[in-house]
Amino acid sequence: MTLLIRKIQRPDAPAFRACLDSVARERKYLAQVEALPLERVEAFVSQSVENDAAQFVALEGGELVGWCDVFPHWAYALQHAGSLGMGVREDFRGRGIGERLLRATLDDALRKGIYRVTLEARADNLRAIRLYERVGFIHEGVARAGLRFDGRFHDAVRMALLQGPASTA
């Protein structure tokens, strides 16, 4: 078995959508509970490839089993900041895929001038929060009742990592 982590490419769109959909349907970790239609995902991936965005995927054979991306803000004073999104398919968790994905993506974000990376994670998603802490994310606060699944509210932790010139700011 070989797992490969690399930047996303246009033909990955359907497999990316399937992976996103699988994690979304857990109704636990992602804000969305199903993936967008394929043409929306294709357009999104195309744009990501065009911009050489910091978006990495993990593949095993033809299957996409995880992703991680950091997209910068567009507004002038926020261009050094980007928000992180990631997911690993349930049956591939616990193998260090998330950490490798995350490190590769953060490196690429740094190269692209993204010096502050922010994220929100459901407060009870301890596995993800441990990973973010290990890689250097710091807790910045709690979004109270930040997520709502099936009528139930959940707090979300807000974390950020500073890198490059911002790490000494």
Query: Which residues in this chain contact another protein in the complex, by CB under 8 A?
Result: 1-7, 9-10, 49-50, 52, 60, 95-97, 100, 104, 107-108, 110-111
| Distance of closest approach, residue 36 Cβ to another protein, in angstroms | 20
Token pair of 27, please? 């109704």
Q: Which two tokens stand for residue 59?
A: 């593949």
- Residue type at 137 in one-letter notation: F
Quote the least distance from Cβ 98 to another protein, whole Å.
11
Whichever of 32 and 51 has its CB closer to another protein, that residue is 51
- Tokens representing 119 are 């994220």
Which residues, 6+ apart, have CB-to-CB distance to 147 below 8 Å? 31, 122, 153, 154, 155, 156
Coil, helix or strand for 82? strand
DSSP-derived pairing of the beta strands 63-72 and 54-60: antiparallel
| Shortest reach from residue 69's CB to another protein, in Å | 14
Supply the minimum distance, in Å, between the C-beta of residue 18 and another protein. 20
* Token couple for 32: 């969305």
- Output 21 or 99, the one with its CB closest to another protein: 99
Q: Which CB sits closer to another protein, 42 or 120?
A: 42
Least distance to another protein, CB of residue 167, Å: 14
Query: Is the Cβ of residue 3 or residue 123 nearer to another protein in the bound state?
Result: 3
Q: How far apart, in whole angstroms, are the C-alpha atoms of residue 77 and residue 105? A: 22
| Amino acid, single-letter form, for residue 47 | Q
Please check whether residue 122 is in contact with residue 156, taking contact to mean a CB–CB distance below 8 angstroms: yes
Taking the least distance from each CB to another protein, the nearer of 39 and 50 is 50
